[in-house]
With several copies, the nearest count.
Chain A
């Protein structure tokens, strides 16, 4: 049983969070679904040279590409890996096609299939049965999970062949979201993907937030909380931590960056230069943002569109009518 961290202020730097809680060989879950990808955390993982990770994420983009190209990843669990502009993620391709910088083992699902595997892992269900993926090559091409991934059987309830999906489990998970309190009660809004269930599969959760707010503010709207604070081991305040992905209400996706990345990383040498410039030579997120420049950030801020507030009520005593 993992320990309870419920009552502690768990704020720390990204450097400390990654150094303490991400270990070589871990099964590492990265939250987000094109929205809310934890780039700042991934860059710190690259800086610290973590190795032999099994990466699990709903959909890989530049983020996964960078971790692969930097040599951190030995195995990848995902539904997808591509640059959304759309174009290839070249480091991913080099790894799969040519074993550069080293071979990559794959375990793939459809997005719904993977989300169900996360759901099963979150609840520790023995498996979930589905009709998706039947007839596809996913049933034949099982990778390093072997027979602990999918099985086809005849439904005992008479629905014909069904696909059984086994639970996934993660050692550590990282999410970048809008706000959190110092204990890790993280809140997210906008498109949520399968992030809640992916995180719930994790023994340790690192919450990276655009803003740290008081616990009382979290309690004004507890329906937005993705995962309870006691499931969290570290809280990192990291504004712009999802760039070039986006955080709903905070900043837009940096489309130009994705297009530049695609061109610059077509060769191994180009990728190494990118890596050096944006990740290895920047000590932390602050330096990365400085390199990016204020104007670029300003251009990515959208307009404000504010939610109507609601009342949760206050029920204090047992008065007479």
Chain B
């Protein structure tokens, strides 16, 4: 457990996880997608949302803390924290489609200016240049979650002019187009938290708007990572750095093995 001391400077990923976690409010029922939402939701629960309930697509409802950090949304460690273990209809069905959850958190591969997510393919669907994972529950989160938070590491290819496949509907063509498609009202992505900053969506046009950057990050830097001409909020803020206590929680309690934050999950000897 080297390097957990909280005096080490926060990494971009730590900033992202803390910033996303801060968006969760206490008592909320949170659909936790796989990958980045896992440390973010657990960070929130250990810092300021002790009463949040974590929901997992495969059928788990957890309001306790698992014995270790789950590596995926279907990790066996979660059963010790679950008050309900059921099937997809218990969570994605009755809680998400049924409208009984508050917020969903998703890792996204790439996103367009209206928050539409592609995790399916680059190039034509029938003969793609790069084939990606597909939806899992992501399309359901995007279709149905009352509030939706996306998490992404920056890379210009992840913010393209247009995406080749809408795996997870965002605000579609902007404006009222999402409603016109028949999706439930007052939904769609609300925030995108990245390794550079935080984005919201314009309430009218539904276009992504840069709303905050981490200390030291410039708007120009963000623009370079995004293929379309990015709108910036007139109220752009600097996102406060993780506090010492936040970093301590994240490093010592949430992910002491560095499974997410130091990529230990993908080394051969975790």
Contacts and interface: CB of A to CB of B under 8 A. Distances in A.
11 contacts: A4-B29, A33-B58, A93-B131, A108-B120, A123-B94, A134-B183, A152-B182, A190-B76, A191-B78, A219-B83, A227-B84
A-B interface, 8 closest residue pairs, ranked by CB to CB distance from nearest: A161-B182, A110-B139, A135-B169, A34-B74, A82-B133, A7-B51, A135-B181, A222-B85
Interface stretch (B148-156, B206-214, B219-227, B261-269): B261-269
A186 to B, nearest CB: 10
Interface stretch (A9-17, A21-29, A270-278, A313-321): A313-321
A112 B79 contact: no
Given A123-B94, A135-B166, A222 B79 contact: yes
A218 interface: yes
A130 B196 CA distance: 37
A136 B168 contact: yes
A255 B269 CA distance: 8
Q: Size class of B's contact patch? A: 35 or more
B215 interface: no
A252 B240 CA distance: 39
Contacts, number: 292
A200 B266 contact: no
B104 to A, nearest CB: 12
B125 interface: yes
Interface of A: 1-4, 6-7, 33-35, 58-59, 78-82, 84-88, 92-93, 96-97, 108-113, 115, 119, 122-125, 130-138, 141, 152, 159-163, 181, 183, 185, 189-197, 200, 215, 218-219, 222-223, 225, 227-231, 246, 248, 252-253, 255-256, 259-260, 262-263, 302, 305, 312-318, 320-321
Contacts of A124: 97-99
B94 A190 contact: no
A162 B85 contact: no
A125 B96 CA distance: 11
A96 B128 contact: yes
B80 interface: yes
A246 B74 CA distance: 10
Nearest to B182: A161
Interface in B70-109: 71-89, 92-100, 102
A314 B146 contact: no
